[in-house]
Amino acid sequence: MEDKSMLISRHAWLFMKYQNRNFAKQFTYIFVLLGLSVGILPISGCGKHADSDTRAAVAAGKLLAEKGHGTIPACIACHGNNGEGLDAAGYPRLAGLNATYIEKQLNDLARELPPAGVVIESVAKDYSKTPRIYSDLTVFSPGLRHDDVMSPIAKQLSKTDIHNIAAYYSSLPFQAKPVAADYEVLERGQDLALRGKPEYGLPACISCHAPNGEGFGTDFPPLAGQPAAYIVNQINKWQRGDRDNDNLGLMHAVADQLTDADKLNVAAYYANRSLIVNGK
């Protein structure tokens, strides 16, 4: 008896909860279900066929990467003949990276850092008064990335050059050559990559950089197949403030929590992964 009355009242509550929903949108599905006895297969293009614009950009990018232009040195001098990077010097691989990501990084490398000593004062806010939309007051960095070697080169590139280079390198195939490392180092690196540090609020690498460190979308670059030295250098840059161009400041928050040992372990772990991009 008691249970029954509880049930009824719960259903009444749920009814009240749902009664202001948009039924019209949903009842169209009745007609869809009644009218269709076969599912409609989504028509998708089989594989990406590069249109002529992209092909031209890739060709122009290839030319710039191999020959350079005026005072712009050839990319292959540091980034390897096939964009595989240079382990010893910590020069990153570019082959198979997301085109939009490469483009953004080059634009950020070319951007002037603000003069030192400039402090932007926040707007004084009184949170005890009327509610306001704080997000209106959010200021994100325009995307800063400084590198002694790459920034001067990036400054010389035109927008078109950057677009072409991004198109070229994103089209290149890549196969990682796993670098051997100490077993304990790999184990610790793996622990960080798969689980992060829960008790410190540090998320796992895989939660953004994809399960095998292959990267995801335009915001999350691959970690697998990058030289260990490069990964360590970039985390150091975030900690120093030389790099501040990540989406929502996510990587900034992560880098702030990494110890020197963490950097080395996780970089070694990802340099040790195997990876195949663009079906090489």
Q: How far apart are CA 174 and CA 113, in angstroms?
A: 33
User: Which amino acid, 73?
Assistant: P
Can residue 139 be called a binding residue for another protein (CB under 8 A)?
A: yes
Can residue 6 be called a binding residue for another protein (CB under 8 A)?
A: yes
Can residue 11 be called a binding residue for another protein (CB under 8 A)?
A: yes
> Would you list the DSSP string of the chain?
-HHHHHHHHHHHHHHHHHTTS-HHHHHHHHHHHHH-SSPPPP---SSPPP-HHHHHHHHHHHHHHHH-BTTBPPTHHHH-TTS--BTTTTBPP-TT--HHHHHHHHHHHHSPPPPTT--PPPPP--TTSS---GGGG------EE--TTHHHHHHH--HHHHHHHHHHHHHS-EE--PPP--HHHHHHHHHHHHH-BGGGTBPPTHHHH-TTS--BTTTB---TTS-HHHHHHHHHHHHHTSEE--GGGHHHHHHTT--HHHHHHHHHHHHT---EETT-
Can residue 120 be called a binding residue for another protein (CB under 8 A)?
A: yes
User: Which amino acid, 59?
Assistant: A
| Total residue count of the chain as it appears in this document | 280
Site string for another protein, 161-190 (x = CB under 8 A): --------------------------x---
Q: Which is nearer to another protein, 66 or 182 (CB)?
A: 182
Q: How far is the CB of 219 from another protein (least distance, A)?
A: 6
Q: Which of 201, 260, 261, 274 binds another protein (CB under 8 A)?
A: 201
Q: How far is the CB of 87 from another protein (least distance, A)?
A: 26
Can residue 51 be called a binding residue for another protein (CB under 8 A)?
A: no
Can residue 196 be called a binding residue for another protein (CB under 8 A)?
A: yes
Q: Which is nearer to another protein, 52 or 127 (CB)?
A: 127
Q: Which of 37, 71, 122, 259 binds another protein (CB under 8 A)?
A: 122
Site string for another protein, 247-266 (x = CB under 8 A): xxxx--xx------------
Can residue 95 be called a binding residue for another protein (CB under 8 A)?
A: no
Q: How far apart are CA 72 and CA 110, in angstroms?
A: 13
Q: Which is nearer to another protein, 187 or 260 (CB)?
A: 187
In which residue are the tokens 């304990």 written?
A: 184
Q: How far is the CB of 22 from another protein (least distance, A)?
A: 8
Site size toward another protein (CB under 8 A) is 57
Q: How far is the CB of 247 from another protein (least distance, A)?
A: 6
- Residues lying near another protein in the complex (CB under 8 A): 6, 10-11, 14, 17-18, 21-23, 25-27, 29-30, 33, 119-122, 124-127, 131, 133-135, 137-141, 187, 191, 194-196, 198-204, 207-208, 210, 216-217, 219, 244, 247-250, 253-254
